[in-house]
Amino acid sequence: MIQRIQTLYLLIVILLTAALPFWVNLWSDVKGKEIFAKDDILISGAFFVSAILALIAIVLYKKRQNQFVVNRLNMILNLFLLGFFVYRSLNLSGEISVSEKGIGMLIPIFSIVFLVLANKAIRKDEDLVKSVDRLR
């Protein structure tokens, strides 16, 4: 389980989505107050669900097809988060004084990249198992 590269990728996703949104700001408002994920219950809930889905995918290491599907669901959730952040950033830029967008808005992009890499490694494992089964 731990020796597989997709487990490492999924652990990185867990760290990205469970801890990082609470340390880096998502955006700053006009008054200079930094907004973190803990300030909005829906955003923090989405990040926690993403971390839990990655943990479930790690636990499903014997069922590679289910692991692949859980990673796809996690990618869809991160795409929704990314869409919300893009919508929010477009609303922020229309103000008279300029608001800052934080680096935390890029967390779903990094998560999606690592989930794609994990799915690629899962697919590679599945192809290896299928090729060994053909030889029997």
pLDDT digits (tens, 9 = 90+) for 47-85: 999 999 999 999 988 888 999 999 999 999 999 999 988
Q: What is the structure's pLDDT at 72?
A: 95
Q: How far apart are CA 23 and CA 48, in angstroms?
A: 14
Q: Give the rounded percent of residues in the chain with a pLDDT score beyond 90.
A: 41
Instruction: Compute CA 17 distance to the chain's CA centroid, rounded to the nearest angstrom.
Output: 6
Give me the mean pLDDT over the 18-27 stretch: 80
Q: What is the structure's pLDDT at 70?
A: 96
Query: Are 36 and 105 within 8 A, CB to CB?
Result: no
